[in-house]
Amino acid sequence: MDYRGVFDNVFGLQLWIAAGVFVLVTGLLLGALVLNRARRRDKLPFARSEHNPIELAFAVVLGGAAAFLVWLSLSTNHRLDYGDTRAVARDSSLPGGQQPVRIDVTAFQWCWGASYPGSPARVTGTCDSPADRPVIVVPQGRPVEFALTSRDVAHAFWIPELAVKRDAYPDHVNTLLMTFPGTGQWLGRCSEFCGTYHQNMDFFVRAVPADQYRAFLQTGTLPAGAAA
């Protein structure tokens, strides 16, 4: 799933709605000011409502806009978490099989580890230097479900270039479902301050072709010349 595209679409729609509400409120406010300055009153203005239908309609419009934005955010977040799984189950043409690949990712002070259920492959690192960053290997073109947890305090699994982030908590598993359509390598970070060496807590996610991924699951290492 293209998380950056989803974010841009939702944010763009919210921006247009916010701009429309701003223009509407500003226009009504300026209109009210002009009318009140042009009209002489024998009593205090607004002592008793004289335009209940208009005020109620205005409140309904604003409440509807707010409710729509809440629904849009919740439904989009739900679709990002679970929507791809249902789509994958219906589409047997997806490369690499129909079911998502699960990768268990554990955050800890101050690095990351990953394991692959049913495989001896493990990913570890110290995060002390760029050369020691763990590299989480994923298959190209097949849905990947990251199961995120923490060994100690709250962390956050963040891939800035792909506009994707999910929190990792102790004694809890958060899932993140996404597909990497092409090969490549992306830098990930912890975006939740977690202590002294938080700034060192970087990792890589590397998407490789299906044959290289199968070899990685068997041996725990990538073949020489694997996509980076």
228 located within any domain: no
172 located within any domain: yes
Q: Kindly tell me if the per-residue pLDDT of 134 is higher than 60.
A: yes
227 located within any domain: no
Q: What pLDDT is stored for residue 29 in this prediction?
A: 82
184 located within any domain: yes
Residues 82 and 63 in one domain: yes
Q: What pLDDT is stored for residue 130 in this prediction?
A: 87
What is the rounded average pLDDT of the residues 54-80? 77
Residues 111 and 174 in one domain: yes
Report the relative pairing of strands 135-139 and 202-208 from DSSP bridges. parallel
What is the rounded average pLDDT of the residues 213-217? 93
User: Given 61, 90, 119, which residue is the final one in a domain?
Assistant: 90
- Coil vs helix vs strand at 115: strand
49 located within any domain: yes
Confidence of residue 33 (pLDDT cuts 50, 70, 90): confident
Q: What pLDDT is stored for residue 34 in this prediction?
A: 77
13 located within any domain: yes
Q: Kindly tell me if the per-residue pLDDT of 27 is higher than 90.
A: no
Residues with Cβ < 8 Å from 122, sequence gap 6 or more?
113, 114, 115, 116, 220
27 located within any domain: yes
- Condensed to tens digits (0 to 9), the pLDDT of residues 91-113 reads 334 444 458 899 999 999 999 99
| pTM of the complete model beyond 0.75 | no
Number of domains comprising the chain? 2
What is the rounded average pLDDT of the residues 189-210? 94
As a whole number, the mean pLDDT across the chain is 80
Confidence of residue 159 (pLDDT cuts 50, 70, 90): very high
Residue holding tokens 């995120």?
148
Residues 135 and 82 in one domain: no
Range(s) of the domain holding residue 108: 101-219
Q: Kindly tell me if the per-residue pLDDT of 4 is higher than 70.
A: no
Amino acid letter for position 103: I
Cis bond before residue 71 (omega within 30° of 0)? no
Domain harbouring 156, CATH code: 2.60.40.420
